[in-house]
Structure 1
């Protein structure tokens, strides 16, 4: 049933599945009375919040620390669920067998296990990549359907594309020689057979211009600037990155780590959903990478070039294709648009303005100023995607609605505020004495809301049809039981609020993850 696991691990996982089915998927927590005397209040309250038995498909989760000790986020049903660390675990013996079979010699990181049960169907996952030991989620976040990838084949590289790329390389060679007074180091090109072998491993045929580049030019180990800031990687490195999971957008496993994703520039070129397929093909040997994007945004194209890495907090769009990128570099070299400080380098370094991306972040103090005054200082309002405003007294922030591309807004240390509703806003964090959110009634995009420092009447909050995540842990909530009527899936409350919710017997029916904050 678990063909990808070592035999000993597969046998032990099957035993665990049988035990869980026999007990109705009972929680791995021991009964409250059996908790050690030193158990924290958070552990006890979270155990008490556990629903009596799972509802529907169930994910049984456990973390095993480096010393073999067991801590349990617990049984998380897809209707109700909480995660917490530090509570003793049932079925500890079989869990220890699973870990012993999975953990290689020398591996001492905590390991998270998850066994998903849905009737007779069982899926097992494990991971050493834990952001925090108290909240984790191994089931991937849902994303949209992926496009069809060009399949590997034995067809030769398109001769027309090969000729086009060859012409660009000849122009680059002439421009480089004129600038540097010497020939560029071309390296050792690859063969069709080498390309096809790597493509079989990748499971995708590389774009024709990339194939042509590898057939005509070798890996750029000398960083001559052929692809601008990046250098062409050897095919062996491309395959290695694929095997080791180097991707432009890493799927998020913990729902509390899912963030509002900003658009690359220009908007619509790069998909905002995590996951998809990208293939690394060039790098700067310092933490940044160019990828071929086979899962583009609605306005992008398969095989476009995107970048991520050091100092970049999102995936950036670079060019519609490698041929377009190469053409841009050639035209810049021929036009002399180079960084004057790079004259002594082997590389041709393009002028910084060639890579200009508008500033998408707006961070301003509101002290003594109105929002229209602040916005008047911004060069391009259409480029702003995230807003940080702070230290306002009594502020009318209705003008936020004038920012057409804003995805997330953070309002901190504010007095009484009326918050405008940008049409695409997905995340809103407000720390204010009084917050008027009336403009958001019926808002079709807002899914992540945090309110702090203010008194909240849950029943009076505007209707937010897409609200998924709510954090009220630093707010005074008048009617905590009404949270159950909001339909949220991820909820953060403080310990006292969780106690009140438990006393009212009103867990949100669609809750999939919960956290103690405040």
Structure 2
């Protein structure tokens, strides 16, 4: 066995080679196994010269990797048992390849921590507003009376917080909570038995609010913040009340439905919103946040009014189910899908779309020749995907809010894109008629570009896109770009589709990240018996 770098990988290298040989089947000459160890998970890709996908049992190897630092590992094996193992901590992923050069880069609407604190959220330590406290206390008291009349006993709330507790919590998170949320904690420090005080939700103990806020990045949420996510941020309905952001330092999670959906209070609303408005995110909330209520007081009022009207269910146990509209979302979905489009009158379909002003994302499937100008009547369309079309003319000048366009078609009349001011993400997939991408120079905000699996007449214009930060190419396109003789774009991330070896990705990294610190690379070669 020959080793350079970390000799501690010796047993892992041999185990990977043995597992690959056991799973490779018959008839192969060379085979490759790649493991990506992130620190929290291990993923596997394996293939041979005769099989695209080889099943490898790597559970025991993964267990060994969890004792080591994150890295990407590869074993290449031949039928004589000769293997070469490589481990690199500087390659994020392979097959498809993933190189991250600037981990702090974010797409539009995806802010890093450090947003300015709203003036009203300054943690002054002042007592809760007496009028707000009186109203919240009154509403909670009426709920408790009606609860006792129905259930035969008081709601099982824990003891109340004190003003000192609230001031200490706010000092830790660096923000003052809304007055009615403060008042709620002065009534009860959480509702662990889910009495129904906030309808289908219950508030957390104050200590958990603080822990949730300070865990990871400050604030709440985090919609598709990774560079390989789609990344377009959609706006909650009603429009204009919530800032269109993937996360906000001043969104504070304070409760949930105990089913992996969470409530936050918004200390930093949009111009048409109000500080302290309540939003929901979580397992069942895909896309934009769900707007729940203007305030905690509004939620309490709706619950109490339902109980007054006798609109409730008593399922037994501690929970009382008031029939409120807090979980209702009267608006249509933010997205629309048009399938089997080849035989449709698209203009008529679009004209008949219910509430077209609310459509922010649209997928068009299996169209014939289509001009995307047909979607101009959708004024808030932000993301448009065209799948399996025969030919596409992307006339999107009338789609002023469009940010992301994905087109899969043999022919695309790319000149129709010229000059769009807001498009920052473009994917052109499986285009067989060679593309002239020179028009992309006219897109002032083009940040992300995916040309993989498409024919491109000349890749050199890629080097002239000043805002381009994330690029996806296939292996052949990448080689052509490197060999074009032009200064390469300054990227935050590069993705390479298809099968890539660790050596190839390391060579690419050295080109795009010239001058970066050298990582410790481990190489081990050996022979299986």
Aligned to 1:513: 493
- Of the three residues 466, 471, 475, the one matched with 2:445 is 466
Note if contact 2:240-2:272 (Cα within 8 Å) is conserved in structure 1: yes
Aligned to 1:320: 294
Aligned to 1:378: 353
Kindly state the Cα deviation for residue 241 of structure 1 after the two structures are TM-superposed. Answer: 1.4
Aligned to 1:273: 245
Q: CA RMSD in A?
A: 3.3
- Of the three residues 67, 80, 103, the one matched with 1:138 is 103
Aligned to 1:148: 118
Note if contact 1:146-1:295 (Cα within 8 Å) is conserved in structure 2: no
- Of the three residues 189, 210, 213, the one matched with 1:239 is 210
Q: Following superposition of structure 1 onto structure 2, how do residues 389-400 of structure 1 map, counting pairs within 5 Å?
A: 389-400=364-375
Q: Following superposition of structure 1 onto structure 2, how do residues 241-390 of structure 1 map, counting pairs within 5 Å?
A: 241-245=212-216, 247-250=219-222, 254-257=226-229, 259-277=231-249, 278-313=251-286, 314-338=288-312, 346-350=319-323, 355-358=328-331, 359-365=333-339, 366-390=341-365
Q: Which consecutive aligned stretches of 4+ in structure 1 deviate over 4 angstroms post-superposition? A: 63-67, 105-109, 130-133, 177-182, 251-254, 340-345, 351-354
Whether 1:447 aligns to 2:424 is: yes
Aligned to 2:459: 480
Note if contact 2:373-2:395 (Cα within 8 Å) is conserved in structure 1: yes
Unaligned runs of 5+ residues in structure 1 are: 1-62, 68-104, 113-126
Aligned to 1:495: 475
Kindly state the Cα deviation for residue 324 of structure 1 after the two structures are TM-superposed. Answer: 2.0
For the structure 1 residues 259 and 178, does the alpha-carbon distance in structure 2 shift closer, same or farther, using more than 3 Å as the test?
Answer: same
For the structure 1 residues 405 and 286, does the alpha-carbon distance in structure 2 shift closer, same or farther, using more than 3 Å as the test?
Answer: same
Note if contact 1:449-1:471 (Cα within 8 Å) is conserved in structure 2: yes
Kindly state the Cα deviation for residue 190 of structure 1 after the two structures are TM-superposed. Answer: 1.2
Report the TM-score, using the length of structure 2 for normalisation: 0.68
Q: Following superposition of structure 1 onto structure 2, how do residues 155-174 of structure 1 map, counting pairs within 5 Å?
A: 155-174=126-145
1:363 alignment partner, SS class: strand
Aligned to 2:505: none
Q: 1: distance between equivalents of 2:242 and 2:181?
A: 19
1:477 alignment partner, SS class: coil
For the structure 1 residues 463 and 306, does the alpha-carbon distance in structure 2 shift closer, same or farther, using more than 3 Å as the test?
Answer: same
CA offsets, 1:279-310, max 9 Å, x none? 22111222111112223334333332121111
Number of residue pairs matched by the alignment: 404
Q: 2: distance between equivalents of 1:109 and 1:181?
A: 57
Whether 1:209 aligns to 2:186 is: no
For the structure 1 residues 419 and 318, does the alpha-carbon distance in structure 2 shift closer, same or farther, using more than 3 Å as the test?
Answer: same
For the structure 1 residues 503 and 447, does the alpha-carbon distance in structure 2 shift closer, same or farther, using more than 3 Å as the test?
Answer: same
Note if contact 2:449-2:471 (Cα within 8 Å) is conserved in structure 1: yes
Q: Following superposition of structure 1 onto structure 2, how do residues 54-133 of structure 1 map, counting pairs within 5 Å?
A: 108=68, 110=70
2:410 alignment partner, SS class: strand
Q: 2: distance between equivalents of 1:417 and 1:243?
A: 47
Report the TM-score, using the length of structure 1 for normalisation: 0.70
CA offsets, 1:194-239, max 9 Å, x none? 2122122112121111111111234211212211221011112112
Q: 1: distance between equivalents of 2:150 and 2:370?
A: 56
Q: 2: distance between equivalents of 1:350 and 1:257?
A: 37
Q: Following superposition of structure 1 onto structure 2, how do residues 182-221 of structure 1 map, counting pairs within 5 Å?
A: 182-221=153-192
Note if contact 1:371-1:396 (Cα within 8 Å) is conserved in structure 2: no
For the structure 1 residues 66 and 409, does the alpha-carbon distance in structure 2 shift closer, same or farther, using more than 3 Å as the test?
Answer: closer
1:506 alignment partner, SS class: coil
2:390 alignment partner, SS class: strand
